[in-house]
A = this chain, B = another copy of it.
């Protein structure tokens, strides 16, 4: 089409030339600056889509010092919890006009989280969300680049950073009280891995309710969140079926493992043993029996954390650090019933 064989994508100057204005006027049109004559504006617009011009946000970021990109550091986004949290974060960020750059760690440790934060900082993100469910990872937040707005999600931390999380202790209390309220003498607990903050919180809530009610606190069983580990715990519990009448399991996947083990061993749920899970994954409602569980609102967690982060970014002074807690919700289904 004529002599225009330039393969280089058009830049602002090209648009300016075609529209017969200066590049700065083009910039003003693009940024909705008020002082542009309507006629000029349309002329520029026409030139823009005639050339198929797209502005270069990299150049813009260089001068404004704002990339409108947020960094997210997470761990194994294959799991329902992290995946949902990250999804919530991404949605909230985009609604606010921000991009999201994700680093999903394979193994989670302080060095890994630190590296990830470093990469993101170099890349020029305006702020960072760290989904730091493990104690060791949460500690990496101590050495954030100075002045980098950040927020921790599901991380326990008393340091220099705001935290948004679901109230794990309360969730565990809900689960345990429910079981006690049904008349069970005590409640067993299959917890998550020791280093996880969520596992810790759930364990704490469970223990607290039992202690307050003056009940015996049974030995703790520990899994790794996987259905398989729940299955193993289930085999163990089935062997002492007489003693056990109620189990609070730290997540729904492990609860499924328990269910499977109990089925194999001929232990009836809920007739012989009642089970409460945690998370309310989409599958739980269709387990056999449907699982009584504690729902976490991951979407809310994502939105709240972006709120906090953007407030930090958009204010110039450092803001006081907040601790936001999202309440969990009890969901009664078929896996729990009164003691014999």
Q: Tell me which of B62, B78, B99, B231 contacts A123 (CB under 8 A).
A: B99
When chains A and B are docked, how far (Å) is the Cα of A52 from the Cα of B285? 52
Query: A106-151: which residues lie under 8 A (CB-CB) from chain B?
Result: 106, 118-119, 121-124, 145-147
**B91→A87 contact, CB < 8 A:** no
Q: Tell me which of B99, B253, B263 contacts A119 (CB under 8 A).
A: B99
**B83→A77 contact, CB < 8 A:** yes
A17 CB–B CB distance under 8 Å? no
A5 CB–B CB distance under 8 Å? no
Chain B residues with Cβ below 8 Å from A259 are 286, 288
Which residue on chain B has the smallest CB distance to residue A231? B286
Query: A234-249: which residues lie under 8 A (CB-CB) from chain B?
Result: none
Task: Report the contact-size class of chain A (Cβ under 8 Å from the partner).
Answer: 35 or more
When chains A and B are docked, how far (Å) is the Cα of A78 from the Cα of B90? 11
**B102→A100 contact, CB < 8 A:** yes
Q: Tell me which of B86, B99, B124, B256 contacts A57 (CB under 8 A).
A: B124
A257 CB–B CB distance under 8 Å? yes
Once A58-B62, A76-B87, A288-B260 are accepted as A-B contacts, the answer to whether A101 and B69 lie under 8 Å apart by CB is: yes
Report A121 CB to chain B, min CB distance, Å: 6
**B86→A77 contact, CB < 8 A:** yes
Chain B residues with Cβ below 8 Å from A46 are none
**B67→A58 contact, CB < 8 A:** yes
Which residue on chain B has the smallest CB distance to residue A252? B283
Chain B residues with Cβ below 8 Å from A124 are 56-58
Question: Of residues A54, A103, A118, A146, which shows the largest number of chain B Cβ atoms within 10 Å of its Cβ?
Answer: A54
Chain B residues with Cβ below 8 Å from A57 are 122-124
**B288→A123 contact, CB < 8 A:** no
A215 CB–B CB distance under 8 Å? no
Chain B residues with Cβ below 8 Å from A62 are 56, 58-59, 62
A325 CB–B CB distance under 8 Å? no
Report A65 CB to chain B, min CB distance, Å: 9
**B91→A83 contact, CB < 8 A:** no
Chain B residues with Cβ below 8 Å from A192 are none
Which residue on chain B has the smallest CB distance to residue A103? B94
Q: Tell me which of B77, B99, B119, B227 contacts A87 (CB under 8 A).
A: B77
